[in-house]
Amino acid sequence: MVSYQKIKSVVPLLGKRIRVIFTSGETKVYDCTPLLKDPPFLLLKDDAFFRQVHLDNAGYGVVWNDKVDLSESELWINGITEPPAGI
């Protein structure tokens, strides 16, 4: 079984993207735009709702409400790695 890094923090960005910082220090940017056509994620079209993203209590995902969330594995696998600051 593959294990993924837990999430340390999440920040909403413009363009329906989120910046996810993992406990390893690695930072990835995840584009939520492709999700907006799927019924469970339609609420993310609302900017005010989108900006409410936060870390789940255990660090295994990010959540907007009880029905809209993304796992750490989805974010790790499909997020685009950002270079460390200062590079």
For CA atoms 17, 10, 62, 80, give the dihedral sign: positive
CB 1 within 8 A of CB 8: no
Homologous superfamily (CATH) of 7-82 is NE0471-like N-terminal domain (3.30.2020.10)
Digit-coded pLDDT (tens) for 29-81:
999 999 999 999 999 999 999 999 999 999 999 999 999 999 999 999 999 99
Nearest to 73 by CA among 2, 4, 1: 4
Q: What are the boundaries of each domain within the chain?
A: 7-82
Tokens of 36: 């907006």
**pTM across the whole model:** 0.91
Quote the pLDDT of residue 83.
81
Judge residue 81's burial from the number of C-beta atoms within 10 Å of its C-beta, 0-12 exposed, 13-18 middle, 19 or more buried.
exposed
